[in-house]
Amino acid sequence: MKITDVRVIVSSPGRNFVTLKILTDEGIYGLGDATVNGREMAVAAYLEEHVAPCLIGRDPHQIEDIWQYLYKGVYWRKGPITMASIGAVDMALWDIKGKAAGLPVYQLLGGKSREAVTLYGHANGSTIEDTLDKMGDLVKQGFKVVRLQSAIPGLDGTYGVLGDKKDYFALQSDRPLPPELPWSTVKYMNMIEELFAKARERFGNEIGLCHDVHSRLTPIEAGRLGKMLEKYNLLFIEDAVAAENQESYKIIRQHTTAPMAIGEIYNTVWDCKDMIENQWIDYIRMAATHAGGITPMRRIADFSAMYHVRTAPHGAPDLSPICYAAHMHLNLWAPNFGIQEFVGFGTEKSNEVFKYDLQLRDGMVYVGDAPGLGVDFDEDAAARYPYKRSYLPVSRLEDGTLWSW
Ligand code: EZ4
Ligand code: CO
C-alpha cells in the first residue's frame, strides 16, 4: 500500500478544527486531528508545507518508522505544533491499518480491558446552587463522576463559567481577540470548600467529584487546597499548578493526599517523566492530538502503569471527534485507564461534519466495531464552515497582572 495524497482541511463547524486526511492507492484513507486551539493555521502550514511532501509514496503500515522520521528526523523536536502534526499523521495511519485489517483500533492495541469507557461530565455554574443543580442533571443521566466549577463571588466571569455563552468561542463576540477574565486566589480559596461540602451534603459519598484549578496556584497554595478538600474525597484535583518545573508536584505531595491530575497541554513524555516516575501525580491527562498520536499515548500509558499512575485523557470541545475516537480506543485497551473527560458529543454543526459510532449510556461510552477509528469526515459539509480566527481567554489579576489561563 502507498500513500498517494495528504489533505489538510481547516474548518469551523462551531469551532476550529484542523483535520488531516491521508489517502492510499488502495482506496483506504485515514483521518487525524491536528487542532491546536488559537494556533490552527500554524499546524496546517506545518503539515502542508513540511510534512505532506515527505509522506507521498510511503507505506502507511510503517507507523513506527514514519513517527520516528517525523520526530527524530527533524532537527526541531517537541513543541505543540510539531507534535500535533505528528499526532494527526499517527492517528490517520492507525485508522488506515485498522481499516486494512478489518479491525477497530482497540483490537490492534491488544483488545478490550473493559466493556465501556467511564466518563466525567462538567457541571459549571454561576453560583454553588446552580453548579449543584447542573450536577443533579448529570447524576440523573447516569454520570458516576462529575467535575465541579463555580463562579467566584466578587469576580466577574470565572474560568469554566460562561453565563449565557455556549463556549469560549462565543465569548469573543464582536471582538475577535482574546477575551480577558479576572482572577483572585484569595477569593477562590475563600469559596471553594463550600462547593464540595455542599456537593457531598446533597449527593452523598459515593459519587465521584473532580475539580480543575487551571494552573492558577503556587505549589504551597495547592498543598493547602488539597488539605482543605481532602475530606470530600475527590477523584482528583486537575492542574493545581503549572508544572514546567515538575518538582512543584513534589511540594504538593509533601502536604496532601488529595490525588493530582495534570497533562492536557503536554506534548511528550519528557514533560511529565519526573512527576510520573517519582509518583508525584495520580492521573496523566495527555491527549492523542497534542501528545503526538496513539503511538506515544500507548507508551505513556505503559510507563505510567509502572508507577500507579492512571490515564484520564483531555476531553475539551477543541479536540475533534477524531481525537476523541482515538481516546476511546486507547481507553478500552489501557489496563491502567482511569476516566475520560466528556463535554458532549459535539454540536449540531460539528455533527454534520464528523460522523462516529459511539453510544452514550449511563455516563459511559460504548464503542462500535467499525474498522479503524470508526470516524468519518464530510469534506463538503466542512467546506460550508470556513476557518474563523479565534482565541481562548487570558486571565489577569485584579491589578492587571497577566496570570495563567
Ligand atoms: O481548558 O477547553 O480539562 N479541561 C479543560 C478545558 C480546556 C479548554 C481549552 O482546551 O481544562 O476546559
Ligand atoms: Co483542564
In a domain, 380, yes or no: no
Contact 359, 77 (CB under 8 A): no
What CA–CA distance (Å, rounded) separates 248 from 136? Answer: 35
Contact 229, 167 (CB under 8 A): no
Whether residues 262 and 286 fall in one domain: yes
Q: Is the CB of 90 under 6 A from ligand 1?
A: no
Asked which of 104, 127, 145 is the last residue of a domain, the reply is 104
Asked which of 104, 124, 146 is the last residue of a domain, the reply is 104
Whether residues 174 and 64 fall in one domain: no
**In 10 A of CB 189, how many CB atoms?**
15
Known active-site residue 307: no
pTM summary value: 0.97
Q: How far is CA 302 from CA 97, 277, 296, 298, 325, in A?
A: 22, 12, 10, 6, 20
Q: Is the CB of 149 under 6 A from ligand 1?
A: no
In a domain, 401, yes or no: no
Give nearest CA residue, ligand 1 atom 10: 316
Contacts of 345 (CB under 8 A, 6+ apart): 321, 351, 356, 358, 360
Q: Is the CB of 212 under 6 A from ligand 1?
A: yes
Q: Distance from the CA of 153 to the center of ligand 2, in angstroms?
A: 21
Known active-site residue 61: no
Q: Distance from the CA of 405 to the center of ligand 1, in angstroms?
A: 10
Contacts of 26 (CB under 8 A, 6+ apart): 1, 100
Whether residues 86 and 146 fall in one domain: no
* Axis crossing angle, helix 80-101 with helix 63-71, rounded to the nearest 10: 170
CA 392 to ligand 1: nearest atom: 9
pLDDT at 176: 72
pLDDT at 175: 63
Contacts of 328 (CB under 8 A, 6+ apart): 106, 117, 340, 358, 365, 367
* Lookup: cell for 219: 505549589
pLDDT at 363: 98
pLDDT at 168: 67
pLDDT at 156: 82
Whether residues 133 and 97 fall in one domain: no
Contact 317, 344 (CB under 8 A): yes
What CA–CA distance (Å, rounded) separates 381 from 156? Answer: 37
CA 318 to ligand 1: nearest atom: 10
Q: Tell me which ligand sits closest to the C-alpha of residue 263.
A: 2
Whether residues 141 and 275 fall in one domain: yes
Whether residues 89 and 127 fall in one domain: no
Mean pLDDT per block of 10 residues along the chain (405 residues) reads 98 96 98 98 98 98 98 96 98 99 98 98 96 98 98 83 67 75 96 98 98 98 98 98 97 98 98 98 98 98 98 96 98 98 94 96 97 98 96 93 95
Q: Which domain holds residue 335?
A: 108-370
Q: Distance from the CA of 239 to the center of ligand 2, in angstroms?
A: 7
Q: Is the CB of 264 under 6 A from ligand 1?
A: yes
Whether residues 265 and 352 fall in one domain: yes
Q: Is the CB of 341 under 6 A from ligand 1?
A: yes
Considering its fold, how many domains does the chain have in total? 2
CA 214 to ligand 1: nearest atom: 11
Question: What is the helix (H) or strand (E) element at residue 43, kind and residue range?
Answer: helix 40-45
Q: How far is CA 46 from CA 81, 325, 350, 377, 405, in A?
A: 7, 24, 24, 21, 26
* Lookup: cell for 234: 475527590
pLDDT at 160: 67
Encode 126-168 in three state secondary structure. CCHHHHHHHHHHHHHHCCCEEEEEECCCCCCCCCCCCCCCCCH
Whether residues 64 and 147 fall in one domain: no
pLDDT at 352: 97
* Axis crossing angle, helix 128-141 with helix 185-203, rounded to the nearest 10: 40
Alpha-helical segments (H) within 262-384: 273-277, 294-305, 321-333, 348-353, 379-383
Which amino acid would we find at residue 52?
A: A
The one catalytic residue among 122, 214, 290, 314: 214
Q: Distance from the CA of 213 to the center of ligand 2, in angstroms?
A: 8
